[in-house]
Amino acid sequence: MQIPRLHPDTIEEVKLRADIVDVVSEYVVLRKRGKDFVGLCPFHDEKSPSFTVSQTKQMYYCFGCQAGGNAIKFVMELGKRSFADVVLDLARRYQVPVQTLLPEQRQELQRQLSLREHLYEVLATSAQFYQHALRQSQGQKALQYLQSNRQLKEETIQQFGLGYAPASWETLYRYLVEDKHYPAQILEKAGLIKPRREGGGYYDVFRDRLMIPIRDVQGRVIAFGGRTLTDEQPKYLNSPETELFSKGKTLFALDQAKGGISQLDQAVVVEGYFDAIALHTAGINNAVASLGTALSLEQVRLILRYTESKQLVLNFDADKAGTNAAERAIGEIAELAYKGEVQLKVLNLPDGKDADEYLHSHTPEDYGELLKNAPLWLDWQIQQIIQDRDLKQATDFQQVTQQIVKLLKNIANSDTRNYYVSYCAEILSLGDTRLIPLRVENLLTQIAPPPATYSKPVSARKAWGSSKSPLPTPHSPLPTERSLLEHAEALLLRIYLHCPEQRQAIIAELEERDLQFSLSHHRFLWQQILEISSGDGETKNFASLPDLISRLQDQFLEFGSEMGLISHLFHVDEINQKEILRTPQVVQAAIACMDLVMLEKRYRHFLELWQQTDPETEPERYQSYYQAFYAEKIKLQKIDRQRLFSITELL
C-alpha cells in the first residue's frame, strides 16, 4: 500500500508518545545498567550484550554492529517495514491522531486504511464460511480426509480453522455479495474471486478444496491455501499476492509457533501445511511451514526475531524435490550462515518421510531426538557432495574435491574453516591416515582467503599497514585506497556532526580545494546535511544546528539502506572521542587524504587515456592527455611532502 506522506506533527507526536524502552522490550530482554538499559542486539548474533537503550535520549545503539536510531527506526529495521507503515502502527497503539500533508491525501489515507480493514473483515468472514461448509453434507469428504488420512482430532481442526470450499462456481461469491453485501471489488482484491473472461460476473477462486487459513503474526487471516480432494492440479493452490499477503514474507503457523520458538530457542521449518499442523498436534509447537516457495531472507529474519540463539532447522522431505528445496533455502540464507548470524541445521527423516508421515508411526520423542541430532548445514552439504560418489575413481574424486573447495572458500571464520578442512581431508583420505596431511595441504592451497567484508570503518593504521611499510609513489596506485579514503571521509563527517565549531572550517576547506565526497553513502549524507543547513536561513550559520544529528536521523528513517552505512557516524565511543579531539589537525589530515586520493584517481585516469591514444592518428588528443596527467603528477609531487604528516595524523 502506498501511504500518503504523513504530516510532521503526526510523526513528532508518535516520537513523543512511543517510549523506546516500551517498544524495544517487546523484542529484546532489557536489563537496567546505570541510567540506560542493555540487552543482546536483535540485529546481529552476539553472546555478551552490546545493545544499549537510552530512555532519556529515546535512542538505541549497538556498539557491536553500529545499529542505532529511535523507536520508529527500531521497528522499521526489525520488521523490514516502511517508515509510514510503522508510524501508522505506533500511532494506533499510542492513540495519536493521524494527519497527512494535504486534505486530499488525508482522504486517500483513510480510504486505504479502510480498504485494509475491509480485507481483514472479508477474509475472516470467508474463513468462517469455509469452516461452516466443512460441517455440512457437501463437506463430509473433506472432513473424513482430515480425520482418517491426516488423523487430526477435532481440537486441531478448530485450532487451525480448517474448512471446505464447496464445488460450486459461485457459492462464496453469492454468500459474501448477496447475503453479506460486501462489494465484489473487495472480494477480488482479497484474492477470493476472479472476473469471468466472457459474459461478465465473477467465479470463486477456490472450489472443492480443503481450505487452510494463512494468518499473519497477529493471527489475522490474510490468505488461504487450498488442497484438492481430487486429481485436479495443482494439488495445493495459494491465494494470489494481495495488499495483505506476500508469499515470500509470510510463514504458515508462525502466529501459533512464535511462543514455542522463543521458549525452545529454536525454529523448525517444514515444507507443507500438514507437516506443521502434525508437529503442533504432537506438541512440537515451534514449527512453521514455507508456502511452496524457496525460503527467503525475509522469512528467515522474521523467524529469527523469536530465537536468541538464532537456531534454525530445515526439515524438508528427503526425496529429490525436498533435497532441492533444502538446497534452494540454503542458497538464500547461506551468507547469514557463513557469517554465523544463523545456526542452520538440516534434518532428513528416515525412509524419505515427511514430518506428517513420520509422526503417524513414531512418537514425538523420536522426532525430538532426531531434531537434537540434526547435522549442521555444512556437514549436510558435504554429505550431499559425496553421496553416491566413488572416491576411488579419479573423475569422482576430482569433482568432489572441487565442490568441497568451493564450499570451504566461503567460510569466513578461520577456526571453522580449519575444522572443516581437516574433516574433509579425512574423507578424501579414504581411511589412510598417512594421506591426511597431504589432503589438508592440497585443500589449503586451493582455498583462497575469504574476501573481507565491510562492516564498520577500519582504523587507518590497519588499513595502511605497518609504519615500516614503504609509502606508495605518485605513479603507483594506493594499495588500500578505499580503506584510507573511507576512514578519512568518515572522520571528517563525524567531526562535522559532533564539533559544531569546526563546521565552517570544513566547508571552507572543501570549497577551496573543490573536493567532493567520493563514497556514495558519505556523499548522500553530505547532501542531506547541506539541505538542512541551507534550510535554516540564508546566512548558513552551520554552528547553530545543535539538533543536526537528530534531524538527520529523522530524515534518514525513509532511507534504510543508506542509513545502515552511516548510522555509526551519529555516535561517539571512547576511541572516536580521542580521534575528534585532535581537531583542527585531523581535519587538515582528512582533507589532505581526500585530496591525495582524488589526485591519484585523476592521474591514473589521464595516464590510461594517454596510453590508449594513438599519437599518429590523434596527435592533439594524445598531447592533451599527456599534459593533463603530467599536471596531476606535478600536483602529486607537491602534496607528497605533506603526505606523511597527513597519514600520521589519521593513524
Confidence of residue 466 (pLDDT cuts 50, 70, 90): very low
- Look at residue 457 in the predicted model and tell me its pLDDT: 35
Strand ranges (DSSP E) for 378-535? none
pLDDT digits (tens, 9 = 90+) for 424-443: 999 999 988 888 888 888 89
Cis peptide bond prior to 103, omega within 30° of 0: no
Mean pLDDT (the chain, rounded)? 81
Helix (H, G, I), strand (E, B) or coil at 276: helix
Q: How far apart are CA 410 and CA 335, in angstroms?
A: 9
Would you give the distance in Å from CA 544 to the centre of its chain? 37
- Look at residue 291 in the predicted model and tell me its pLDDT: 85
Contact 263, 297 (CB under 8 A): no
Residue 248, classified by CB atoms within 10 Å of its CB into exposed (0-12), middle (13-18) or buried (19+), is middle
Contact 235, 254 (CB under 8 A): no
- Look at residue 175 in the predicted model and tell me its pLDDT: 96
H-assigned helices in 284-393: 297-304, 320-339, 355-361, 364-372, 377-386
Q: Which helix (H) or strand (E) is 343 found in, with range?
A: strand 343-346
Residue 426, classified by CB atoms within 10 Å of its CB into exposed (0-12), middle (13-18) or buried (19+), is middle
Q: How far apart are CA 227 and CA 160, in angstroms?
A: 15
User: Does 646 score more than 50 pLDDT?
Assistant: no
C-alpha distances (whole Å) from 327 to each of 319, 344, 397 are: 12, 12, 22
Confidence of residue 277 (pLDDT cuts 50, 70, 90): very high
Cis peptide bond prior to 619, omega within 30° of 0: no
- Look at residue 467 in the predicted model and tell me its pLDDT: 32
Same fold, 108-245 and 249-374: no
- Look at residue 301 in the predicted model and tell me its pLDDT: 80
pLDDT digits (tens, 9 = 90+) for 112-167: 656 788 899 999 999 999 999 999 999 999 999 999 999 999 999 999 999 999 99
Q: What is this structure's pTM?
A: 0.57
Q: Where are the domains of the chain?
A: 8-101, 108-245, 249-374, 383-446, 460-650
Q: How far apart are CA 15 and CA 71, in angstroms?
A: 7
7-11, 84-88, 345-349, 423-427: segment of lowest average pLDDT:
7-11
Evaluated on CA atoms 560, 562, 565, 567, the torsion sign reads: negative
Secondary structure in 3-state letters for 46-99: CCCCCEEEECCCCEEEECCCCCEECHHHHHHHHHCCCHHHHHHHHHHHCCCCCC
pLDDT digits (tens, 9 = 90+) for 65-114: 888 989 999 998 888 788 888 888 888 777 787 776 566 665 565 566 56
Q: Which helix (H) or strand (E) is 638 found in, with range?
A: helix 619-650
Helix (H, G, I), strand (E, B) or coil at 318: coil
Mean pLDDT of 572-577: 65
Kindly report the backbone phi and psi dihedral angles of residue 577, in degrees, each rounded to the nearest multiple of 5, phi listed first.
-60, -45
How many residues belong to the chain?
A: 651
Q: Does 8-101 carry CATH code 2.60.120.10?
A: no
Strands 51-54 and 31-33: unpaired
User: Does 550 score more than 90 pLDDT?
Assistant: no
Evaluated on CA atoms 149, 154, 155, 157, the torsion sign reads: positive
Q: How far apart are CA 650 and CA 461, in angstroms?
A: 8
Strands 68-69 and 36-39: unpaired
Q: Does 249-374 carry CATH code 2.102.10.10?
A: no
The CATH topology of domain 108-245 is DNA primase DNAg catalytic core, N-terminal domain (3.90.980)
Mean pLDDT of 563-588: 69
Contact 203, 196 (CB under 8 A): yes
- Look at residue 11 in the predicted model and tell me its pLDDT: 83
- Look at residue 152 in the predicted model and tell me its pLDDT: 95
Greatest alpha-carbon pair distance for the chain in Å reads 93
